[in-house]
């Protein structure tokens, strides 16, 4: 046995430079290098120049953390129990967090910010399926708000910042910062026995621990790209293991107006199931015959090519896209059959039935990983609301907070008031002009009276009784109920939003044809559903859709080219269609008030 001439250890053969160094020699070399580095670091600082790019990167990172931290919330229950994280998104105090954070805490919350102040907050709206909640803070009108990012531009390998309140450590309201990479994009997380479905989410290795739920995920420049909510904790204990998920901010943008409505927002369903065939194509495996997709022509075995303007190559991609869409949206769908590609516009129904979500929310809360809530949810039962919160909370069945639905209705009513000027007086109408249809251009007359309506059109003469159930009157044929739809338009103009009856604010929805946005108000009246569509500013009524029955195509009306006449603003044209068929255009010459008919003895 010989000794190593470097370390004195015993080896079977002598060390030489032509052979790999043994472990003992590597340790000695490491120690020697360490001493050498120590000597280098002992040199005066001014003798080593730090590259400008390194200093600039350091400044940018510090600035990004400072900007991001200013808008981050440490959320606590009103009695000090439970909590999580959140982020302010507007100077007037609206903020985002997780639904599973707010659910056990109730409708009043306490939110600490980087400025060291604890603010009162109230629940506004919730998206239980998407695990998102909107709250509103009180106390100032200049809250530091996060900068919006674009999660569709995020790629694996990008730097990311997680900022929040892990393990509820931020008792001084100074948030904790963790730094890491975006590990993956377009991840789909199954509901796992709960309502919560994480679709198209971002995966990161930046530490997300219990208490980070609801907090912001920022990019390296401090722009908001997601809301943290889920970690792979199963069977690994309740600590971070480098696999966390954030709801993409672009998904939340689609739901934001729904959340501001004070409603319990629901996600969309196509009314069809898809699967992969033997060739790897994504095909329709089952479809409801009363779904809008079926009425538009989609059938079993059709291949889904694009959905909502995104390509579909796998079942996972389809679920990711569908999971980011709200109920009542209308989106394009491209499918292929026998080598022919077709594009349709489909209206999306809700995943849950009427009232189902509200009932399920009354059940015991669960976390998105299927375990009991880890945010210490057991606050005191029914704590007394602070006066500012109580003044901004109105309970109503089916709503998270009806106060904010009334607020949005009032906002649109005020914006629309100049357009409605002159229409408020009660009276019967006569609408006259020219009807333009396929091969037709003839005069028309429509009368809208309090109890009935009548139409004298090129291909139709008839009437509808407004005293009965309105869903019984679908005339003229091919319109889906034009006389009833015009009657509801007249009622809205004369009575206004507040007095129409059964009205609610839904949110912003896209126009399937143009992609433009509408502000939607919805009401149920006389046995039918009517959706009023305003421009994004709420200043002008752009159209309405009247559904006589859930499984029938609605009567769709679009108002075109408004002008002022005799002190009133009125559209110069009304376009009417039902389903895929354009019925025609009513070019309006005048709308006049006519005397009520004499009562029949």
- We report the CATH number of the domain holding residue 420 as 2.50.20
- Encoded tokens for 363: 């059940």
Domains contained in the chain, number: 5
pTM recorded for the entire structure: 0.86
- Encoded tokens for 266: 């629901």
At residue 235, the pLDDT reads: 46
The CA–CA distances, whole Å, from 305 to 297, 314, 344, 516 equal 15, 10, 12, 23
464 and 579 both lie in a single domain? yes
CATH of the domain at 90: 2.40.10.10
555 and 463 both lie in a single domain? yes
Query: Does 341 reside within a domain?
Result: yes
452 and 586 both lie in a single domain? yes
Q: Which of 137, 157, 183 corresponds to the end of one domain?
A: 137
507 and 551 both lie in a single domain? yes
CB 294: neighbour CB atoms within 10 A?
19
Per-residue pLDDT reduced to its tens digit, 545-599 = 999 988 899 999 999 999 988 788 999 999 999 999 999 999 999 998 887 665 5
Q: Which of 80, 110, 137 corresponds to the end of one domain?
A: 137
Query: Does 362 reside within a domain?
Result: no
Q: Is-cis flag, bond preceding 317, omega within 30?
A: no
Cα three-residue angle 160-166-171, rounded to 5 degrees: 125
Identify the H or E element spanning 55. Answer: helix 52-70
At residue 8, the pLDDT reads: 43
Contact criterion met (CB below 8 Å) for 449 and 596: yes
Domain limits for position 78? 67-137
Query: Does 304 reside within a domain?
Result: yes
Q: Which of 577, 437, 589 is nearest to 512 (CA)?
A: 577
582 and 435 both lie in a single domain? yes
Rounded Cα–Cα distance for residues 431 and 591 (Å): 5
Contacts of 398 (CB under 8 A, 6+ apart): 263, 264, 355, 358
Q: What is the dihedral of CA 390, 396, 399, 403, to 10 degrees?
A: -40
324 and 277 both lie in a single domain? yes
CB 403: neighbour CB atoms within 10 A?
18
- Encoded tokens for 369: 């990983």
CATH of the domain at 335: 2.30.42.10
13 and 89 both lie in a single domain? no
Within 169-241, strands assigned E span 176-189, 198-204, 216-219, 223-231
Q: Please identify every stretch of the chain with a pLDDT value under 70, giving residue numbers as ranges.
A: 1-47, 79-81, 191-194, 232-240, 363-383, 596-601
At residue 193, the pLDDT reads: 55
CB 281: neighbour CB atoms within 10 A?
18
Query: Does 203 reside within a domain?
Result: yes
At residue 371, the pLDDT reads: 39
108 and 251 both lie in a single domain? no
420 and 529 both lie in a single domain? yes
Within 17-153, strands assigned E span 72-76, 83-88, 94-97, 108-112, 118-127, 132-137, 147-148
At residue 194, the pLDDT reads: 61
Query: Does 183 reside within a domain?
Result: yes
Q: Which of 321, 350, 379 corresponds to the end of one domain?
A: 350
Contact criterion met (CB below 8 Å) for 572 and 588: yes
588 and 486 both lie in a single domain? yes
346 and 483 both lie in a single domain? no
416: left (phi over 0), alpha (psi -120 to 50) or beta: alpha
- Encoded tokens for 102: 């707010």
190 and 124 both lie in a single domain? no
Query: Residue 292: how many CA atoms within 13 Å on its side-chain side?
Result: 25
Query: Does 168 reside within a domain?
Result: yes
Q: What does DSSP say about strands 223-231 and 147-148: parallel, antiparallel, or unpaired?
A: parallel
At residue 7, the pLDDT reads: 41
Query: Does 369 reside within a domain?
Result: no
Query: Does 329 reside within a domain?
Result: yes
Contacts of 371 (CB under 8 A, 6+ apart): 233, 234
At residue 516, the pLDDT reads: 84
* Phi, psi (deg, nearest 5) at residue 109: -135, 165
Contact criterion met (CB below 8 Å) for 588 and 435: no
């Amino acid at each position: 046995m010989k000794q190593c001439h470097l370390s004195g250890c015993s080896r079977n053969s002598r060390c030489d430079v032509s052979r790999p160094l043994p472990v003992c020699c590597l340790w000695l070399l490491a120690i020697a290098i360490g001493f050498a580095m120590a000597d280098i670091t002992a040199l005066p600082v001014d003798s080593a120049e730090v590259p400008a790019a390194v200093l600039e990167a350091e400044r940018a990172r510090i600035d990004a953390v400072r900007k991001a931290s200013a808008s981050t919330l440490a959320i606590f229950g009103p009695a000090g129990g439970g909590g999580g994280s959140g982020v302010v998104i507007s100077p007037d105090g609206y903020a985002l967090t997780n639904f599973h954070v707010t659910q056990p805490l109730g409708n009043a919350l306490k939110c600490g910010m980087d400025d060291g102040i604890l603010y009162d907050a109230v629940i506004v709206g919730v998206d239980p399926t998407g695990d998102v909640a909107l709250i509103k803070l009180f106390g100032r009108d200049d809250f530091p708000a996060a900068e919006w990012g674009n999660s569709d531009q995020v790629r694996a390998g990008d730097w990311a910042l997680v900022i929040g309140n892990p393990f509820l450590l931020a008792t001084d309201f100074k948030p904790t910062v963790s730094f890491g990479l975006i590990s993956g994009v377009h991840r789909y997380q199954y509901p796992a026995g709960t309502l919560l479905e994480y679709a198209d989410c971002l995966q990161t290795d930046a530490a997300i621990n219990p208490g980070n739920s609801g907090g912001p995920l920022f990019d390296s420049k401090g722009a908001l790209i997601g809301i943290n909510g889920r970690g792979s904790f199963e069977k690994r204990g309740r600590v971070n293991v480098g696999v966390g998920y954030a709801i993409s901010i672009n998904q939340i943008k689609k739901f934001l107006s729904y959340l501001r409505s004070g409603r319990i927002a629901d996600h969309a369903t196509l009314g069809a199931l898809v699967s992969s065939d033997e060739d790897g194509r994504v095909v329709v495996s089952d479809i409801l015959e009363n779904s809008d997709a079926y009425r538009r022509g989609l059938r079993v075995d059709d291949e889904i090519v694009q959905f909502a303007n995104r390509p579909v190559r796998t079942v996972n991609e389809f679920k990711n896209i569908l999971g980011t869409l709200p109920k009542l949206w209308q989106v394009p769908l491209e499918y292929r059959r026998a080598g022919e590609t077709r594009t349709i516009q489909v209206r999306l129904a809700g995943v849950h039935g009427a009232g189902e979500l509200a009932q399920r929310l009354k059940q015991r809360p669960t976390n998105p990983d299927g375990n009991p809530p880890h945010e210490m949810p057991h606050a005191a039962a029914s704590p007394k609301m602070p006066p500012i919160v109580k003044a901004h909370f109105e309970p109503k069945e089916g709503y998270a907070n009806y106060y904010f639905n009334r607020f949005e209705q009032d906002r649109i009513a005020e914006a629309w008031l100049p357009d409605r000027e002159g229409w408020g007086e009660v009276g019967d109408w006569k609408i006259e002009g020219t009807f333009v249809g396929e091969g037709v251009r003839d005069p028309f007359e429509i009368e809208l009276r309090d109890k009935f309506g009548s139409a004298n059109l090129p291909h139709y003469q008839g009437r509808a009784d407004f005293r009965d159930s309105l869903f019984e009157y679908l005339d003229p044929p091919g319109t889906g109920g034009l006389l009833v739809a015009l009657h509801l338009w007249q009622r809205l103009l004369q009575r206004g939003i507040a007095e129409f009856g059964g009205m609610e604010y839904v949110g912003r929805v896209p126009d399937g044809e143009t992609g433009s946005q509408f502000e939607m108000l919805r009401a149920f009246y006389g046995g039918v559903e009517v959706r009023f569509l305003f421009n994004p500013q709420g200043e002008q009524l752009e159209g309405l859709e009247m559904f006589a029955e859930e499984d029938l195509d609605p009567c769709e009306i679009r108002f075109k080219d408004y002008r002022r006449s005799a002190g009133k603003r009125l559209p110069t044209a009304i376009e009417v269609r039902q389903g895929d068929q354009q019925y025609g255009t009513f070019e309006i010459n005048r709308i006049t008030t006519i005397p009520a008919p004499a009562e029949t003895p």
